[in-house]
Structure 1
Amino acid sequence: MIVSVPSYVIRGAGASSHYEYEVRVVARDDSWTLLRRYRRFRELYTSMRQKYGSKVAAIRFPPRQVFPKYEVVARQRRKRLEEYLRRLIQVCSELSHCEPLYKYNGNLSNIDKQSLLEFSPFFRRGMFESGKYGTS
């Protein structure tokens, strides 16, 4: 299991409150934890669809919600975001034009940190994590 989204936290206060999802990444040579807002997952989804085409576009992604600040939405979304990340990494590892992951030929047990970072800055620690109330 390369990536998991085991939990979420609420950040900010009042109208500026939002949920952040804990993303745990385990690569052959390292492990690290990130906090990401839904917005960053959605940006990843959009950029991967554009970059890698129909097979990646076919991966289910949790839609936007009318009332996203409800905890029940965060709980459901957490599991769906985890499923999305796992499926994205697997599918991209099978696409020849996804060079950072394709070299593993679907055998992701040997994936290293550098390959994930080349695949997407989403997995880079420190990215998006500088806002006053948590990640931006």
Structure 2
Amino acid sequence: CYASPQASPVLASLVEGVPRPFLYSLADLGPLPDRPHRNIARLLKGKRFRKPDISQTIQELLAGEVGRGSGGGVVVDVGANVGMAAFAAAVMGFRVVAFEPVFENLQRICDGVYLNRVQDQVVVYHAAASDRAGNITMHKV
């Protein structure tokens, strides 16, 4: 995430409806593509971006750990996507190790690390994770 201290503007949204709100990046507003990013289109239409179901579940599970004195542990987010689970944990004081193989999603995670000021808590790997060694080809759909 070294390139993240923002070279271009970022569109972000506050994840509300969770015990500890946080920001996540919707799109990098650098050189805009011919077709606007779908989240920008949703914003212009006044629609909500996503339900905080994943974030709510993560924070509820981790609140139980904090209640048992396990706060400040490590959360591993495999297939982190745009970081909804990672940031839900980080704002609660947990350290997070996130794996994300898709570069566009990795950029959103790096934006979120910057926006939430959790660079000391979140380590991001541009990699897939598996139970065995090997190579994989990722196709964007």
Shorter-chain TM-score range: under 0.3
Q: TM-score, normalised by structure 2?
A: 0.25
Larger of the two Rg values belongs to structure: 2
TM-score with structure 1 setting the length: 0.25
Select the structure with the greater relative contact order (CA < 8 A; seq sep ≥ 6): 1
Higher helix share: 1
